[in-house]
Amino acid sequence: MRLPEIDRGDGLTNRLLIGFISTVSGMRLPDAARVAFYHKNFFGTPMGAWTQATMRGPSMWTVGERELMAAMVAQWNSCAFCVGAHGAVAAKAMERLLVDAVLADFRSAPISEALKGALEFLEIMTLRPMELSAEHAEAALRSELTAGALKDAMAVGTLFNIITRYASTLDFAMPSAKEFHRAAGMLLKRGYAR
Amino acid sequence: MEAPYDDLACQIGEAAWRVTNAQVASVLAAAGSEKAAFELIAAAATGAGLLRWQQAIKALEETSDAPS
């Protein structure tokens, strides 16, 4: 963590809360949650509400599919923390083997054509956004994907092009696989809003 | 925008995984507080995400199946 104040919490209440949650959960509170507690009125609260709506609100995609999209955007942005965190949530909602297959090569993974089409669009959106054109959107819509579902996928792509960037910039500490698994259970149960 | 802010904001937009300790430390020194440095980081990340949303929505709206 490159900003120590986020690590320890701003203000006595947040410091106590971070310490309490870490003690009760038996693991260091992940940096993503520490950011959510930091400078809340500026970023944590609106970002939490936005993330909750996108990842847990009404959507054409299941929670597992959205978490998988998040993990893929993280992979394209070389954010190991977010790949680990959202891959673990997807694995809990779907299957670990399927998540690993998608992360290794989504084009050959046994997923729906609609999800494949969405991921192909998200890949360009993430890596080469200025190249995006109607042709890319039309290609996605030909893969059994509705315009509404594509828009929902774009919302996940937008969100995780933000989250991965501040995670990398702040240099989030990497939890162990066991800790990611435990944190994933909390994210599935409680969601993102703080 | 002044150098340390601009350098870090551009780096976050282009390849945040290449951000260095020195880039963040320079912004922290120039901004004078961790909250100010965090605001720049959050704003640069948000800008990069919203640029992608704008491009994606434009691509969808230009299709013949565009939702009204």
Q: Which residues of B touch A155 (CB under 8 A)?
A: 53
Whole-angstrom CA distances from B47 to A51, A127, A156, B14 are: 16, 15, 15, 11
Q: Which residues of B touch A147 (CB under 8 A)?
A: 60, 63, 65-67
Residue A74 at interface with chain B, using a CB cutoff of 8 Å? no
Range of the domain at A50: 4-190
**pLDDT tens sequence across A136-172:** 999 999 988 999 999 999 999 999 999 999 999 999 9
Contact A39 B17 (CB under 8 A): no
ipTM: 0.94
**pLDDT tens sequence across A85-117:** 999 999 999 999 999 999 999 999 999 999 999
**Residue-by-residue DSSP string for A138-171:** HHHHTSS--HHHHHHHHHHHHHHHHHHHHHHHHT
Q: Which residue has the tokens 């340390």?
A: B4
**pLDDT tens sequence across A51-75:** 999 999 999 999 999 999 999 999 9
**Chain B interface, Cβ < 8 Å to A:** 8, 12-13, 15-17, 19, 21, 24-25, 28, 34-35, 37-39, 41-42, 44-46, 48-53, 55-60, 62-67
pLDDT at A47: 95
- Give the count of domains, chain A: 1
Q: Which sequence spans correspond to the domains of chain B?
A: 3-61
Residue A162 at interface with chain B, using a CB cutoff of 8 Å? yes
pLDDT at A30: 95
Banded pLDDT at B64 (limits 50, 70, 90): confident
Q: Residue A114 sits in a domain of what CATH number?
A: 1.20.1290.10
* Three-class secondary structure of residue A49 per DSSP: helix
Residue A132 at interface with chain B, using a CB cutoff of 8 Å? yes
